[in-house]
């Protein structure tokens, strides 16, 4: 999944996609443990897609932005 596609989705859509990717990751782990997994590179793809979605959600691209606190002034002395 490309980053442009991720940024074009709403927060609710991203949560749904994230949930489905985590389920897929869970199933891939079980397939690997039982020896049924044919395409091991899918692990990497799913892990990176999860990271992209979580990054976009954390950056505030879809979530409300938090205000930064004013820097505190230290007294010399």
The domain ranges of the chain are 3-59
Average per-residue pLDDT for the chain = 85
Question: CA-CA distances (angstroms) from residue 48 to 3, 39, 41, 72, 75?
Answer: 11, 16, 11, 37, 46
Confidence of residue 1 (pLDDT cuts 50, 70, 90): confident
Report if pTM > 0.75.
no
Percentage of the residues of the chain whose pLDDT score is greater than 70: 77
Architecture of domain 3-59: Orthogonal Bundle (1.10)
Tens of pLDDT, residue by residue over 16-40, are 999 999 999 999 999 999 999 999 9
Among 27, 45, 25, 26, which Cα is nearest to 36's?
27
Confidence grade of residue 69 (pLDDT, cut at 50, 70, 90): low
């Amino acid at each position: 999944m490309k980053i442009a596609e991720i940024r074009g989705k709403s927060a609710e859509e991203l949560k749904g996609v994230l949930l489905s990717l985590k389920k897929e990751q869970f199933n891939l782990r079980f397939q690997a443990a039982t020896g049924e997994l044919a395409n091991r590179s899918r692990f990497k793809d799913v892990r990176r897609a999860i990271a992209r979605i979580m990054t976009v959600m954390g950056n505030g691209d879809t979530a409300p932005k938090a205000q930064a606190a004013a820097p505190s002034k230290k007294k010399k002395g």
